[in-house]
Amino acid sequence: MIAAIKKEIFLRKEELENKNLKSLYFGGGTPSILKVDELQSIVDEVLKYFSFDSNIEITLEANPDDLDKNFLKDLSHTPFNRLSIGTQSFFDEDLKMMNRAHNSGEAESSIKRAQDFGFENISIDLIYGSSTSNFEIWKKNLRKTIELQVPHVSSYALTVEPKTALNTWISQGKIAAPKEAEQHQEFFYMTDFLKDHGFDHYEISNFGKPGFHSKHNSAYWKYEEYLGIGPSAHSYNGRNERSWNIANNQLYINSLNQNKLANETEILSEKDQFNEMLMIGLRTIWGVNLFSLKEKFSAELLEYFQSEIRTKVEDGLLKIENDHLTIPEKHWFLADGIASDLFIV
């Protein structure tokens, strides 16, 4: 797999116009199962064809149970400077229900160990609205986050996907389904609580202290180009083209062994681009740059857009400030619905 990833980097080295990288992100699975020297070898491969910005953010997604002392010691001697830890919860009942391999003790100790080895830029994932949790447990999860001095949080409501163990357990009556009203309550409590402790709520599901916003994810939300390497990875050229790699590991490796890319490409229509900019931008504090819309899209499309947003602005679901269209934070839980109402079909 590592050899195939390196081959793909070589074959696609000309795709990014900007050769000076501001972010390098190892995720989309569990890259922390690799040895540190294997991770470093991929970084070295990237450096053959790209340069690193002096303030580059290099992130490793990791499970708490992978972050043992020896791994962190070795990782501290590499360019990796940010960890995204799949904590999910600091309570065992939550973790068992989510089928996580780690326990609550490892969730906490992995963060402390990482800090002991000099990793200050740490993000953790937290899940709210779980049927094994309640409002008081959620408060304790957030207080533990502050106690551990974690500077970035990505937090998501528990969702039930088809053909999952969770969906089966709910259908069999073994556990209760998530309650939307409770998820709303926990979301807005989290928003106020983290802001009171110095976090910026800069995207619906993301909170960061000043200087600790995710550069990588911010590039997605600001519609910048990015190159995704590896099975299932997605790429975007910053204009009208998206591509994605095949998900099957063996087919991915076999294709690269033959010096062939295993991906598909989609050309985005004007309507597709417009809808994506709305969907992504309205999830953030930056919103949608109306000046950019005027430069990029036809007068006919913009005329329709102006008529559609008028009522929502009057109703307070949208606001316009400094040539940017945003959703007031109190309505962020409705953001996907608000954005989809504005889509061009």
Residue tagged 């008028």 (tokens): 310
**Per the domain annotation, does 343 fall within a domain?**
yes
- What's the pTM value of the predicted model, to 2 decimals? 0.92
Contacts of residue 46, Cβ cutoff 8 Å, sequence gap at least 6: 9, 21, 24
The domain boundary, picked from 187, 203, 220, lies at 220
**Helices 2-11 and 36-47, interaxial angle, to 10°?**
10
Q: pLDDT of 92-150, one tens digit each?
A: 888 887 778 888 999 999 999 999 999 999 999 999 988 788 899 999 999 999 999 99
> Are 208 and 300 found together in one domain?
no
Name the band, by pLDDT with cuts 50, 70 and 90, for residue 163.
confident
> Are 179 and 281 found together in one domain?
no
The domain boundary, picked from 190, 220, 250, lies at 220
Q: pLDDT of 16-37, one tens digit each?
A: 989 999 999 999 878 999 999 9
**Per the domain annotation, does 172 fall within a domain?**
yes
**Per the domain annotation, does 231 fall within a domain?**
no
- Average pLDDT of every residue of the chain: 93
CATH code: domain of residue 172: 3.30.750.200
Residue 69: the pLDDT is 97
Percent above pLDDT 70 for the chain: 100
- ∠225-43-34 over CA atoms, to 5°? 110
Residue 168: the pLDDT is 77
Name the band, by pLDDT with cuts 50, 70 and 90, for residue 169.
confident
CATH code: domain of residue 312: 1.10.10.920
Q: What is the residue range of 148's domain?
A: 18-220
Count of the separate structural domains present in the chain: 2
**Per the domain annotation, does 261 fall within a domain?**
no
> Are 315 and 195 found together in one domain?
no
**Mean pLDDT of the region 66-87:** 97
Side by side, which strands form the sheet with 51-62? 20-26, 51-62, 82-88, 122-128, 152-157, 206-208, 200-203
> Are 311 and 181 found together in one domain?
no
**Per the domain annotation, does 327 fall within a domain?**
yes
Q: pLDDT of 324-340, one tens digit each?
A: 999 999 999 889 999 99
> Are 46 and 171 found together in one domain?
yes
Least confident of 259-263, 287-291, 303-307: 303-307
184 φ, ψ (degrees, to nearest 5): -60, -45
Residue 30: the pLDDT is 83
Indicate if the pLDDT at residue 167 is higher than 80: no
**Per the domain annotation, does 263 fall within a domain?**
no
Where helices occur in 197-334 by DSSP H, the ranges are 215-221, 249-257, 270-281, 290-296, 299-314
**Per the domain annotation, does 247 fall within a domain?**
no
Residue 40: the pLDDT is 98
